[in-house]
Structure 1
Amino acid sequence: MRYWRAMSTDAFLARFGAPGASQPDPVAAAQSAMRNKLPKRFYETATVLERDGLFHVALDGKTARTPARNPLAVGSRPVAEALAAEWQAQAERVDPAHMPLTRLVNSALDGVADQHLAVRAEIVRYAGSDALCYRASEPEALVARQEEVWEPIRQHVETLIGARFTLTQGVIFAEQPAGTLEAFAGHVDAIPAPLALAGAHNVMTLTGSALVMLALADGHLDADAAWNAAHLDEDYQIGIWGQDEEAAERRVIRRGEFDAAVLLLKHG
């Protein structure tokens, strides 16, 4: 069975962080963050202010800043309002672990803006070994479920890009045609940088599928359908063996990161 290649928002920031910044190991960074005391909340209210054609997240009237000291300002009011809501929801201390959208927007503004070509190239590489192209050979119920849920997505993307993907069973690598990846790249190039592109990258890694990401971006799938398609194998196993409590908690966290990424993909 093929496992999803999920990347957290923090891992995304580690890969595409601020230009010139060191790239820390995400596990070590998380452990360090747990050892460090969270900063106290230093503001009363988080609001959205429109200035110079952008929507700024304002803390007590002053524009918030990213780790690289860029203004926390975006071109989309829905994104800015969601950012402000994250900041407003913080309690006595500011906990970045509960701010997936802020972390992703920070990575977009500080890193993706200058590295968008590398991000686009990685999305296309992902399509070269996409999870939807690797099918189970058994059991029959799983095979049928993959056919029911995944085939319409694959066929939609193929129609959209005008090219075909190669399918295989099991985990044996199947190289995709160069023309297919070129056609796919043309649609990836149309995703606006940096916000929508950052959202696209995280949707892709959290679902294990660049095809699911493109179908979501195109409007063929909504967020729930994309999430369910991505977790088809996992849900099949849960139906047989039940769900581990810690795994369930991790899935809730991933869903929060996924929803933040979808918001950027759709409104960034």
Structure 2
Amino acid sequence: MSAKRRFWKSVSVIEQQAEHGLGTVYMPALDGRPIRLPKGSTLAVAQRPLAEAIAAEWGRIEEGTFQPESLPLTRITGTMIERIRPDMSVPRSALLSFGLDDALCYDGGTGGESLQRLMAWLAERQIRPVVTTGLMPVTQAPDYVNALELWLAERNEAELAALGVIVQAGGSVLVGLALLEGGLTLEQAVSIITADERKQEAVWGGDKELTATIHTRQNDLQDAVTFLALSQQ
């Protein structure tokens, strides 16, 4: 994405009654004006802590240019408002497709103890994906498909937004499922989705690109976890 330039002097949070008397919403504001998202929606949330955290990341932007990647909570919230909220069946369907061809279904033996823990945790919940050591696509059993479909159907818009970030970072709905449900810690989830890169580093030594990939994935998962925690307060 192209760089943006800071144009605002002050950042605040506006409290306002939602339409149709549906509670209170909180809007991060730049120089007293609410933030507009790419499709024209106002960036407004029902949780003051989330609004304050979004405002804080705009407040941390220094004078001059900045990259949109500097505003992760804004990006995730905007996705929730403009891409998920209008029709939640669309992200659920997309996430189900990822889950049927989950990255963890192609186990190259690099996941280690954290991956074993995850698979045992999933099995306890009757979620048993077909796993292969080969390269050919796997076909999942109906029971797995139904369990994953049911779980996704119960996720709210904030959880779907967080899952979208996690899946893009690591290619795994199953890691996201466990992270949301307490089956994995953040550190364990990062260990699983960066296993290949860490194995390459161990074999070939330090590499700036591999290190950057690991850090990016770790930051993405942290952003998703932070967003979800704030959206639940």
Shorter chain as denominator, the TM-score bin is 0.7 to 0.9
Taking a change above 3 Å as real, the CA distance of residues 146 and 68 of structure 1, as seen in their structure-2 partners, is closer
C-alpha deviation, 1:147, in angstroms: 4.8
C-alpha deviation, 1:183, in angstroms: 0.9
Q: Which residue of 2 aligns with 1:257?
A: 220
1:163 & 1:203 partners in 2: Cα distance?
19
In the TM superposition, what are the counterparts of 1:195-210 in structure 2 within 5 Å?
195-210=158-173
Q: Which residue of 1 aligns with 2:155?
A: 191
TM-score (norm. length: structure 2): 0.86
For residue 88 of structure 2, the aligned residue among 116, 137, 140 is 116
Higher mean C-alpha displacement, 163-172 vs 84-93 = 163-172
Letter in 1 for 2:218: R
1:150 and 2:122 equivalent? no
Letter in 1 for 2:8: Y
Contact map agreement 2:15 2:26 (CA 8 A) in 1: yes
2:92 & 2:220 partners in 1: Cα distance?
20
C-alpha deviation, 1:250, in angstroms: 4.2
In the TM superposition, what are the counterparts of 1:55-74 in structure 2 within 5 Å?
55-74=26-45
Q: Kindly report the root-mean-square deviation, in angstroms, between the aligned alpha carbons of the 2 structures.
A: 2.1
1:46 and 2:18 equivalent? no
Q: Which residue of 2 aligns with 1:20?
A: none
C-alpha deviation, 1:111, in angstroms: 1.5
Taking a change above 3 Å as real, the CA distance of residues 150 and 47 of structure 1, as seen in their structure-2 partners, is same
C-alpha deviation, 1:94, in angstroms: 5.2
TM-score (norm. length: structure 1): 0.76
Letter in 2 for 1:181: V
Q: Which residue of 2 aligns with 1:135?
A: 107
Matched residue SS, 1:57:
strand
Q: Deviations over 1:226-261 (max 9, x none)?
A: 111111122111111123213323443443333222
1:106 & 1:191 partners in 2: Cα distance?
18
Contact map agreement 2:201 2:210 (CA 8 A) in 1: no
Matched residue SS, 1:114:
coil
1:232 & 1:89 partners in 2: Cα distance?
32
Contact map agreement 2:111 2:191 (CA 8 A) in 1: no
Unaligned runs of 5+ in 1: 1-29, 137-142
More relative contact order, 1 or 2 (CA 8 Å, 6+ apart): 1
Unaligned runs of 5+ in 2: 18-23
Contact map agreement 1:196 1:267 (CA 8 A) in 2: no
Q: Which residue of 1 aligns with 2:207?
A: 244
